[in-house]
Structure 1
Amino acid sequence: MALFIIGDVHGCFYTYLKLLDYWEPKTETLIQLGDLIDKGNFSPLTIKLSFEIKNTFKNSVHFLRGNHEQMMIDHFQKNSTPFNWLHNGGAEVMQQFDKLNINPSKYKSWINELPLFWGNDHVLVSHAGFCGIGDPFDLKNGNNVLWSRRRTIDLNKTQVIGHTPLTDERPQYYASSRTWNIDTGAYKGNLLSGIKLENDETLIEHLSVPTDPRDIT
C-alpha cells in the first residue's frame, strides 16, 4: 500500500476533515506525525476522530506522538519537565473538553501509547526528525524526535517530518538529508499538508488545504 502522511493538525478539525477526503483507505496507509492538539479550536474533536479512525482501520493507520502530546502526557502523569502544557495550549484544550462535554480520560491511555516513529526499509516518519545529536528517543534529549529543530541527517532513506512550520506555506524537500518537512502552519491560518509516497519512497504527490476559518477564529 502507498503511504499518506499528514502533518501537524493542531486542533484544526475542519481542515483535517478536508485533507482526510484525499485518503484512499483501500490502497493507502495513513500516518499522522504528531501534534494533533493545541492551538486550534477543536483539539477534543481531532483526538476523538483520530481515535475512532485507528480503531476502525487498525494496522493500516498509524498516529505518532508529537511534542504537544508529550506535554499533555507529562501534565497528566505529573512529570517534572521545563514545559508546562497548560501554558502551551493545554488550558484552552481542557476548556474545549469541558465545553464539548467530552471526557479526556477516555483518550489518555491511547495518547500515552503513541509511538515516536514509523518506518519501513525506505521511509521514516517522525515528528521532529533525526539530527544525529544524542539518543533520538531519549525524552530528556532536547534534540530528540519530538523537539529537535536542527537539520536532519541522511539516514539512507526518505524522512518525513513536521514540528517546524515552514515560511513559504508549501512542503519542502531537503535533498542533502532526503527529508520532507510537511508542517505548513495550519494553526497560523496557512495550510494543512500531507504527502503521498510509494512504499519505496517514490513521491506520488503532496497535498495542501487552506485552514478552515472555523478552526482558528
Structure 2
Amino acid sequence: MRYFIIGDIHGCFHTFKNMLEKHWNHNEEILIQLGDLIDRGKKSPQMVEYARELHGNFSEKVFFLRGNHEFEMIEHFTKEPNHNWLRQCGEETLRQYEVANRDCESDVKWMKDLPLFWENDYLFISHAGIAEEASDPFLEDDEYSVIWNRSRLKNIGKLQIIGHTPCRNPSYDENSNSWNIDTAAAYSGYLTGVKIDSLGRVIEFVRGNTDLRDK
C-alpha cells in the first residue's frame, strides 16, 4: 500500500477536491491530511463537510489529523472564548459557517476525535513534528507539541512529514529526516501532496494551484 499525504489546506476546499480527483488512487493509496483544514481560505465549512464525508466513506483509507487551528476552534467552543483565534481568523470562519448554515458544534465534536499523528514502521506524520526540545510532544497546549512546534525536529529513525510552517516549496531537513509540505495554499502559494511507497520512500510531489474560488 502506498500513501498520499497532503499539507495544510486552510479552507481551500476546491483546491483539495481538485487534487484528489486528479491524483488520488483510493484503491492503492492511503490518504493522510496533516491538519489545519480550516481558517484563512473562503471555504472552511465546505472543507470540513467534505473531510467528514471522505472519512465516512473510506474509514480505513482516509485519515485527517488535528492541527493547531482545529485545536483553537475546539478550545473556543469547549472552554472560554478563544480571542486569539477569533482575532486572527476565527471570526471569518464563524461567518462562513453562518452563511453556509452549517452546525459548528457538530464539526467541533468531530475535530475532537481527530488523532494527533499517524505512524508506521517507516513514517511519522503530524502537523508540526516531534521537536528536539519537547518533553511531551503530545501535550497540545505546549509550544513544542506536534501541533505547535516551529523549532528543530528530532531524528526519530523514521521519515517525518509535517506542515504548520509555510514554505515556498516542500523543504527537506537531512538532520531530522523530515519534509515540510505546507506551501501556503490559502495565501500566494499552492497545495502540496507527497506520495510515499510502502517502505517510506518519496515517490513524487504533487502540486495543486489554489483554486480562485478558495481565495
Same fold at TM > 0.5: yes
Give the TM-score of the pair, scaled to structure 2.
0.95
| C-alpha contact 2:77 2:105 (8 A) present in aligned 1 | no
| C-alpha contact 1:38 1:93 (8 A) present in aligned 2 | yes
Q: Which amino acid aligns with 1:145?
A: V
| C-alpha contact 2:132 2:152 (8 A) present in aligned 1 | no
**Equivalent residue number for residue 146 of structure 2:** 145
**Equivalent residue number for residue 107 of structure 1:** 107
| C-alpha contact 1:189 1:210 (8 A) present in aligned 2 | no
**Equivalent residue number for residue 43 of structure 2:** 42
| C-alpha contact 1:19 1:193 (8 A) present in aligned 2 | no
Counterpart CA distance in 2 for 1:185 and 1:12 is 10
**Equivalent residue number for residue 7 of structure 2:** 7
* Cα 1:80/1:105, change in 2 over 3 Å: closer
**Equivalent residue number for residue 165 of structure 1:** 166
Report the 3-state secondary structure (helix = DSSP H, G, I; strand = E; otherwise coil) of the residue aligned with 1:110.
helix
How many residues were matched structurally? Answer: 213
| C-alpha contact 1:11 1:39 (8 A) present in aligned 2 | yes
| C-alpha contact 1:123 1:199 (8 A) present in aligned 2 | no
How far the C-alpha of 1:85 sits from its partner, in A, is 1.9
Mapping of 1:14-53 within 5 angstroms? 14-21=14-21, 22-53=23-54
Report the 3-state secondary structure (helix = DSSP H, G, I; strand = E; otherwise coil) of the residue aligned with 1:188.
coil
- Structure 1 unmatched runs, 5+: none
Q: Does 1:210 align with 2:178?
A: no
- Structure 2 unmatched runs, 5+: none
How far the C-alpha of 1:132 sits from its partner, in A, is 2.2
Q: Which range is displaced more, 93-102 or 31-40?
A: 93-102
| C-alpha contact 1:182 1:194 (8 A) present in aligned 2 | yes
Report the 3-state secondary structure (helix = DSSP H, G, I; strand = E; otherwise coil) of the residue aligned with 2:73.
helix
Counterpart CA distance in 2 for 1:120 and 1:38 is 29
| C-alpha contact 2:32 2:62 (8 A) present in aligned 1 | yes
How far the C-alpha of 1:170 sits from its partner, in A, is 1.8
* Cα 1:130/1:79, change in 2 over 3 Å: farther
Counterpart CA distance in 2 for 1:172 and 1:76 is 34
Counterpart CA distance in 2 for 1:13 and 1:56 is 18
Q: Which amino acid aligns with 1:124?
A: F
**Equivalent residue number for residue 187 of structure 1:** 186
Give the TM-score of the pair, scaled to structure 1.
0.94
| C-alpha contact 1:6 1:182 (8 A) present in aligned 2 | yes
Q: Which amino acid aligns with 1:188?
A: Y
Please identify runs of 4+ aligned residues in structure 1 that moved more than 3 A: none
Identity %: 43
Please tell me the root mean square deviation across aligned C-alpha atoms, in Å. 1.3
